[in-house]
Amino acid sequence: MYVANIAALLAKLGHGVDVYTRWDSASKREVVQPAPHFRVIRVKAGPKKYIPRDTFLSVVDEFVDNVKQRIAQEHIGYDIVFSHYWFSGVAGLRLARYYGIPQTHIYHSIGQIRRSALEQFSPGGVDKEFFAIRASWEQRIARQSRSLIATSPMERDNIVRLFGVERDKIAVIPIGVDTEVFRPYRTTQLRHRLAGHKRPIVLYVGRLEWAKGVSTLIKAMKKIVTMRPGAQLWVIGGGDTRGTQQLDLAERRRLTKEAVELGLEGNVQFLGAKRQSEVARYYAAADVCVMPSYYESFGIVPIEAMACGTPVVASRTGAAPFTIKEGVTGYLVTPRDADELATKLATVIECGKDAYRLATRRRALEKFSWLRIAGYIADHLSGICGVDTGQISKASTKKPILGVSERSIQEMASAH
């Protein structure tokens, strides 16, 4: 949703944006215009179906050639390439060089950091050859892009350390949250229907995969339920493609088995994927939200939860030390430490949500409002390409921002 949100807001601010993404389903339209001045253009690269992201490099050449063909057909003149994730960064380098325009890149995830987490926690091992190729490309992207955007000071430090680029080349602009969708709601009926009024509710939102740490969370819930027998864990999440849905289903079955073995079958509810407007109400209904990940790049869940007035307990990974104000909007814990996770969850439950509600909402509004962040990105891109893109006429056919995203963009309505 990051790319969709930023593109829509840049367009709302007066910028023209075309986002090119791989055409991953024959049933999806080639060109979609979710808002004025903002188009999503699906480009054929490999079969029009889901393929694992780790195979995207094999279709980058076809993707770039078809983007060039589209640009030639429409006689479009872009001012800047804004690329997201490393495969798109590879495509972006080629397009920026071909058209002689600058590129700004945002990693969202750095391969060497992910590899380190895999080596530490993953039961399946690591494809060292793949990560070596990824590291080489990510370094090339860092050095050849005109500028980089890091979503937290921690990510900026990692980029400087791993890729040897100047700190001044990197702007720190966090991910944002829609504070009109994600806000405090009255949720008495929802709580009563799913848990009862007085039972503590712990909420997890995200993909069901090993790196998200749900196994650790279920172990922690065993301790919470010992102290508060009626405590509930609500698990919201699911893939948005057939391939990821199958992976999520397999992980859900494994996690369900773990919960049953721990005697938690009545305390853990898997609620599936929800639309943003629905998820916001679950955030607001919960007593505490938890992000127990073994690895994260940024982690959008904490700021969504805080925008709804809900405190967060999160692993000390990714941007969590930046987004969460320790002891004020929540707590940080060591990844894969079920005992510490249970202790911090119990602390929040005992203090009560009201002790955190005002501080969490205030932090989301002051630091992570999407509109504020879109303004920072617009200023940064305008400075890099040397034009005031905000002055484009509504009647103009010029599209100054060429966005590249390896992930398929839905028609602005995506589930978690």
- For the stretch 160-213, pLDDT in tens is 999 999 999 999 999 999 999 999 988 777 777 766 657 899 999 998 888 899
In a domain, 55, yes or no: yes
User: Which of the pair, 296 or 222, is modelled with greater confidence?
Assistant: 222
Alpha carbon 288 to chain centroid, angstroms: 20
Mean pLDDT score, 52-79: 91
CATH code assigned at 386? 3.40.50.2000
Ranked by mean pLDDT, which of 14-18, 277-281, 287-291 comes out on top? 287-291
Element housing 234 (H / E): strand 232-236
- Residue among 379, 389, 372 nearest 174 (CA): 372
160 and 203 both lie in a single domain: no
pLDDT of 416 > 50? The answer is no
382 and 343 both lie in a single domain: no
Whether residue 291 contacts residue 312, with contact meaning beta carbons closer than 8 Å, is answered with: yes
361 and 373 both lie in a single domain: no
In a domain, 415, yes or no: no
Predicted confidence at residue 398, as pLDDT, reads 39
Q: Which of 66-80, 91-105, 106-120, 256-270 has the lowest mean pLDDT?
A: 106-120
DSSP labels, 270-321: EEE--BHHHHHHHHHH-SEEEE--S--SS-SHHHHHHHTT--EEEES-TTHH
- Residue among 289, 285, 402 nearest 3 (CA): 402
Predicted confidence at residue 195, as pLDDT, reads 61
96 and 221 both lie in a single domain: no
- Give residue-wise pLDDT tens across range 356-399: 999 999 999 999 999 899 999 999 998 887 654 443 323 233 34
In a domain, 413, yes or no: no
In a domain, 416, yes or no: no
Whether residue 59 contacts residue 406, with contact meaning beta carbons closer than 8 Å, is answered with: no
In a domain, 181, yes or no: no
pLDDT of 346 > 80? The answer is yes
204 and 302 both lie in a single domain: yes
Average pLDDT value over all residues in the chain = 87
169 and 130 both lie in a single domain: yes
295 and 396 both lie in a single domain: no
Whether residue 172 contacts residue 367, with contact meaning beta carbons closer than 8 Å, is answered with: no
pTM attached to this predicted model:
0.83
223 and 128 both lie in a single domain: no
pLDDT of 411 > 50? The answer is no
> How many CA atoms lie less than 13 Å away from 113 in the CB half-sphere?
22
159 and 78 both lie in a single domain: yes
Predicted confidence at residue 145, as pLDDT, reads 96
Predicted confidence at residue 124, as pLDDT, reads 65
Mean pLDDT score, 35-39: 91
Predicted confidence at residue 397, as pLDDT, reads 36
234 and 146 both lie in a single domain: no
Phi-psi region at 277: left, alpha or beta (left = phi > 0; alpha = psi -120 to 50)? alpha
In a domain, 247, yes or no: yes
39 and 154 both lie in a single domain: yes
- Give residue-wise pLDDT tens across range 227-253: 998 899 999 987 655 556 666 788 888
Residue numbers of the domain that contains 150: 2-176+369-405
Q: How confident is the model at residue 276 (pLDDT cuts 50, 70, 90)?
A: confident
Predicted confidence at residue 243, as pLDDT, reads 55
Mean pLDDT score, 16-25: 92
318 and 239 both lie in a single domain: yes
Percent of the chain with pLDDT over 70: 89
Distances (CA, A) of 27 to 42, 182, 241: 12, 31, 12
> At a CB cut-off of 8 Å and minimum separation 6, what does 393 contact?
none
Predicted confidence at residue 392, as pLDDT, reads 32
> At a CB cut-off of 8 Å and minimum separation 6, what does 206 contact?
212, 236, 237, 291, 293, 301, 416
In a domain, 33, yes or no: yes
Percent of the chain with pLDDT over 90: 63
In a domain, 195, yes or no: yes
Predicted confidence at residue 245, as pLDDT, reads 66
DSSP labels, 86-118: HHHHHHHHHHHHHHT--EEEE-SS-HHHHHHHH
Q: Which structure tokens are listed for 141? A: 């992207």
Q: How confident is the model at residue 127 (pLDDT cuts 50, 70, 90)?
A: confident
Number of domains in the chain: 2
pLDDT of 334 > 70? The answer is yes
